[in-house]
Amino acid sequence: RLKEVPPCERKTVVVISMSPTYGSRGGLFDGLCGMAGVTNGAAEIGLTAGQALTKEHIVAVNPDVLIVPVWNDHGSYDIEKFNREYLDDPGLQTVRAIRERQIYRPHEGYIYNASQDMIFGAQDIAHAAYGDIVPLPVHRHLSVVEGLSR
């Protein structure tokens, strides 16, 4: 279905993470972006492993979609406060994704973990960028033991 999206209409995505070096060129998120048919903004501006994404980088990329973290350590961490440090920052209000409210809260087990379920991370990112042309994977899990009788 992503073949229906012409290259000139591909979306640019930036991921904000509690690990500020997540999302660089050649990493897990970059691979997921390739599978999702989107441009990883951090890779596009040349961030490589170990380089932190800054607010200035976000302005430079001006992404179509901004992915923010959802992990809250079982309620002991105020993830919304963390996200507001970006979303409410006056210096970021000109960023397309913030201005147009294209803020996406992913299913954390899909894009932040290197597991068999990361294929659903690619779907999750594609759904964030292109909507219903890519189904939203909800509560999906790949397992080698599914369907085996005991």
Give the whole-angstrom CA distance, residue 12 versus residue 97.
10
- Domain boundaries along the sequence of the chain: 2-130
Q: Rounded mean pLDDT of 92-97?
A: 99
Question: For 33-79, what is each residue's pLDDT tens digit?
Answer: 999 999 999 999 999 999 999 999 999 999 999 999 998 888 899 99
pLDDT of 146 reads 61
* CATH architecture for segment(s) 2-130: 3-Layer(aba) Sandwich (3.40)
**pLDDT-based confidence at 113, cuts 50/70/90?**
confident
- What is the CB neighbour count within 10 angstroms for residue 99? 11
Residue with tokens 């599914």: 146
Mean pLDDT across the chain = 92
> Which of 77-81, 85-89, 106-110 is least confident?
106-110
Q: Of 13-17, 37-41, 109-113, where does mean pLDDT reach its minimum?
A: 109-113
Looking at residue 147, what is its pLDDT? 56
- Is the pLDDT assigned to residue 20 strictly greater than 80? yes
Distance between CA atoms of 34 and 121, rounded to whole angstroms? 11
pLDDT at 149: 47
Which residues have a Cβ under 8 Å from the Cβ of 129 and sit 6 or more positions away?
A: 11, 13, 36, 37, 38, 64, 65
CB 9 within 8 A of CB 131: no
